[in-house]
Amino acid sequence: MNEFRFLDWNVYKDSKELVKEIYSITNRFPAQLKYDLGSQLNRSAASIVLNITEGSGKNSDKELNRFFNVANGSIYETIAGLDIAYENKFISAKEFENLAEKCKDIARQLGSFKKKLRR
């Protein structure tokens, strides 16, 4: 499966796990927020994974880097959505800290990947 190289990347696997956890959390949101904040959180988390994979299919490191930058922006959007959820008591402090740490780790992995691309 060389053509789908992202399947072997830890950053892809970790991002997929983050999406799974966020889907589980947003599923518990009150009905009125499930389709507003919940949907936005789901989309921003999925965007991390999808931009990593889309970038992996591009023909140059420059293009891959661009998609990693978009994925990184989606990490920030996800953190902001989680912060809103936490401030409004839809998730616990522990859940927020756990998910924020996972986002930081994914951002670090993307940063490392980008440094390798520059070499």
Supply the DSSP string of the chain, one letter for each residue. Answer: -GGGGGGG-HHHHHHHHHHHHHHHHHTTS-HHHHTTHHHHHHHHHHHHHHHHHHHHTSSSHHHHHHHHHHHHHHHHHHHHHHHHHHHTTSS-HHHHHHHHHHHHHHHHHHHHHHHHHH-
- pLDDT category of residue 113 using cuts at 50, 70 and 90: confident
Q: How many domains does the chain have?
A: 1
Give the global pTM.
0.92
Tell me the CATH number at 86. Answer: 1.20.1440.60
Domain membership of residue 15 as a residue range: 2-118
pLDDT of 27: 94
Tokens at residue 112, please?
């490392």
Averaged pLDDT score across all residues of the chain: 93
**Is pLDDT above 80 for 80?**
yes
